[in-house]
């Protein structure tokens, strides 16, 4: 079940805001009845009409983007900052990011207009492994890294076990490059995990999402996922990330 305004926006008829206006103006019917309540939940078998015209769903599209730093993982920003959809000027479908990367985080972000696919990948139960490379302040001791490996208490609870690999350390600059693999997707999770062991993140990049990598993509580049990759991602999420 999805919110009515989201269904209308994803069908390509109108933006989310315009869809809300259409609903409030009584221009939207669900199963033949005018619905004026924002947020009404509708399912796949419900018939939605806008101005008397049944909704046609957009054909689903799937992309992988190498998000640069300094870009918002959203489709629009009220402060006019750069958003991830700015990298898809020729894509007419209403795509949006699957989950998010922080403004200052770069790397791999999946974009789609397929809500069911996005929900499947983002469902906490189905979280696939994500590999991040972090430049952190200081040189963490093994004991500190073990806390990340076993799970560490954050304000929203314990983290699941993580894989951690020290790539390099720079004694002069007092920084380290650390690869960390997690399958959860909590807000600012990697930053908060390193913060919790006293080694704040200076720079963060997501290099891998399941089997997907950034191969061939410079920052700001995107490519369409192959049908096989989409299928593999679905299978992976349905098998709870395995």
Enzyme catalytic residues:
102
- Distance from C-alpha of 234 to C-alpha of 241, rounded to nearest angstrom: 9
* Nearest distance from C-beta of residue 204 to ligand URA, angstroms: 6
Number of residues that bind ligand URA (CB under 6 A): 8
Contact call for residues 10 and 113 (beta carbons, < 8 A): yes
189 binding ligand URA? (CB under 6 A): yes
101 binding ligand URA? (CB under 6 A): yes
162 binding ligand URA? (CB under 6 A): no
- Distance from C-alpha of 101 to C-alpha of 78, rounded to nearest angstrom: 18
Question: Is 11 or 105 the residue whose CB approaches ligand URA more closely?
Answer: 105
191 binding ligand URA? (CB under 6 A): yes
Question: Is 2 or 102 the residue whose CB approaches ligand URA more closely?
Answer: 102
214 binding ligand URA? (CB under 6 A): no
Question: Considering only residues 204, 212, 236, 237, which one is a binding residue for ligand URA as defined by CB under 6 A?
Answer: 204
Question: Considering only residues 46, 58, 86, 102, which one is a binding residue for ligand URA as defined by CB under 6 A?
Answer: 102
- 3 state SS of 94: coil
195 binding ligand URA? (CB under 6 A): no
Question: Is 191 or 199 the residue whose CB approaches ligand URA more closely?
Answer: 191
- Distance from C-alpha of 183 to C-alpha of 210, rounded to nearest angstrom: 9
The stretch near ligand URA (CB under 6 A) out of 2-10, 22-30, 62-70, 185-193 is 185-193
The kind and range of the H/E element at 122 are helix 115-122
- Distance from C-alpha of 123 to C-alpha of 137, rounded to nearest angstrom: 32
Contact call for residues 216 and 223 (beta carbons, < 8 A): yes
Contact call for residues 67 and 106 (beta carbons, < 8 A): yes
- Distance from C-alpha of 13 to C-alpha of 24, rounded to nearest angstrom: 16
205 binding ligand URA? (CB under 6 A): no
Question: Considering only residues 3, 82, 183, 188, which one is a binding residue for ligand URA as defined by CB under 6 A?
Answer: 188
* Nearest distance from C-beta of residue 193 to ligand URA, angstroms: 8
- 3 state SS of 105: strand
- Distance from C-alpha of 232 to C-alpha of 84, rounded to nearest angstrom: 24
Residues contributing to the site for ligand URA (CB under 6 A):
101-102, 105, 188-191, 204
């Amino acid at each position: 079940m999805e919110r009515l305004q989201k269904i209308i926006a994803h069908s390509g008829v109108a933006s989310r805001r315009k869809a809300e206006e259409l609903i409030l103006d009584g221009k939207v019917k669900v199963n033949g009845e005018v619905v004026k309540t924002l947020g009404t939940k509708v399912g796949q078998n419900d018939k939605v009409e806008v101005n008397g015209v049944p909704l046609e769903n957009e054909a689903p599209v799937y992309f992988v983007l190498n998000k640069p730093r300094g870009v918002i993982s959203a489709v629009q920003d009220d402060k006019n900052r750069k958003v991830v959809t700015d990298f898809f000027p020729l894509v007419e479908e209403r795509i949006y990011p699957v989950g998010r990367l922080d403004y200052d985080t770069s790397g791999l972000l999946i974009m789609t207009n397929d809500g069911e696919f996005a929900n499947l990948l983002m469902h906490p139960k189905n979280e696939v492994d994500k590999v991040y490379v972090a430049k952190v302040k200081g040189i963490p001791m093994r004991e500190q890294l073990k806390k990340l490996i076993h799970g560490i208490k954050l304000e929203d609870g314990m983290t699941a076990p993580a894989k951690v690999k020290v790539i390099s350390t720079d004694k002069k600059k007092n920084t380290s490059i650390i690869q960390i693999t997690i399958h959860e997707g909590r807000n600012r999770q990697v930053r908060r995990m390193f913060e919790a062991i006293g080694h704040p993140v200076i720079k963060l990049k997501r290099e891998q999402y399941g089997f997907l990598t950034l191969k061939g993509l410079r920052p700001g580049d995107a490519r369409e996922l192959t049908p096989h990759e989409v299928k593999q991602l679905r299978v992976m999420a349905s098998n709870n990330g395995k």
